[in-house]
Amino acid sequence: MDNLVERFLNGERRALARIISRVEDGSAEGREYVRQLFPHSGKAHIIGVTGGAGAGKSTLTGALAGEYRKRGKTVGIVAVDPSSPFSHGAILGDRIRMQDLALDPGVYMRSMASRGALGGLAPSIEGVVAMLDAFGFDYVIIETVGAGQDEVEVAGMALTTVLVNNPGTGDDIQAMKAGIIEIADVLVVNKADHPGSDVLVSQLQALLSLAPPGQRRPKIVKTTAVKGEGLEVLADAIEEHREWLTSSGTLHDCRKEDAEHQVLTIARQILVERIQRSTPEVELQKLVERVAARELDPHTAAEQLAAAARE
């Protein structure tokens, strides 16, 4: 192993960038970096920013980071864009909306491709976020792929989840459906200078009033991120949620849930690799062929694979 860990701990950004690449590729080297640096994480406040494609997530993320810089805080950003399901390539364009931060030494921004992961994130994102946290940023912002109604994974990792909505994108029944709206700790109505933003705010308020008593109600914040409007209120709303996490004792539960999710995800990955090692590709293809021909059911086939992988 090289001296990257030492350089990382000395605050060298190039070492951070290199280590993130190794972690992102899921290599054995990357796992070793996580092993060594994970103990340094757990201090940053992790914020998830999610919402539909074109809702203004990147612009809002950039503007929010700018607000934190005004408050003297440092920010690490990881922004996920989709990989092509065909070529596995990706265009990562989130930096375009964050130009104001390009040369700020208190901000580090990293683009990630989703690499086939579901749920609006990327396969190794937990590790990458832990590295940004360990590097010492006060805030780490995760910006998801443009999410639809059901991409809720980010809420498991983020301590505060911000859901970005826009006026004119559906009636109140859309918002009443289960799924993404339930994960929001702060609701943002972005592009608030567009017509219909007040209507959306009152629809969201009406919706929140239907929640069972005793449940914490997310704050609704109007922003116009391109003009830098509403960011102070948003940062305050996030701070308020952060304080509530601590005072209500929820913070510990959040961290535990995230830890459980991470451990199980990695364990699953290890088991898949074990199966791949114990069953040669030719054997696997034969098995799959039999399932396709309906000679075998998928459960029996999977049990055979799992049994072969037992060590």
Residues that bind another protein (CB under 8 A): 13-14, 17-18, 20-21, 25-27, 83-85, 87-93, 95-96, 99, 102-103, 108-111, 113, 115-117, 123-124, 269
Burial grade of 185 (CB within 10 A; 0-12, 13-18, 19 or more): buried
Q: How far apart are CA 107 and CA 132, in angstroms?
A: 11
Q: Which helix (H) or strand (E) holds 33?
A: helix 28-37
- Angle, CA of 190, 191 and 192, to the nearest 5°: 85
User: Residue 64 is encoded by which pair of tokens?
Assistant: 């929010």
Our CB check for another protein shows the closer of 115 and 191 to be: 115
Our CB check for another protein shows the closer of 90 and 301 to be: 90
Q: How far apart are CA 197 and CA 191, in angstroms?
A: 8
Our CB check for another protein shows the closer of 211 and 272 to be: 272
Q: How far apart are CA 157 and CA 65, in angstroms?
A: 19
Our CB check for another protein shows the closer of 103 and 210 to be: 103
Minimum CB separation of residue 145 from another protein in Å reads 14
Q: Look up residue 141 and give its DSSP letter.
A: E
Minimum CB separation of residue 93 from another protein in Å reads 5
Minimum CB separation of residue 151 from another protein in Å reads 16
User: Residue 138 is encoded by which pair of tokens?
Assistant: 């006060």
- Provide φ and ψ at 18, rounded to 5°: -65, -45
Minimum CB separation of residue 147 from another protein in Å reads 18
Our CB check for another protein shows the closer of 206 and 270 to be: 270
Minimum CB separation of residue 113 from another protein in Å reads 5
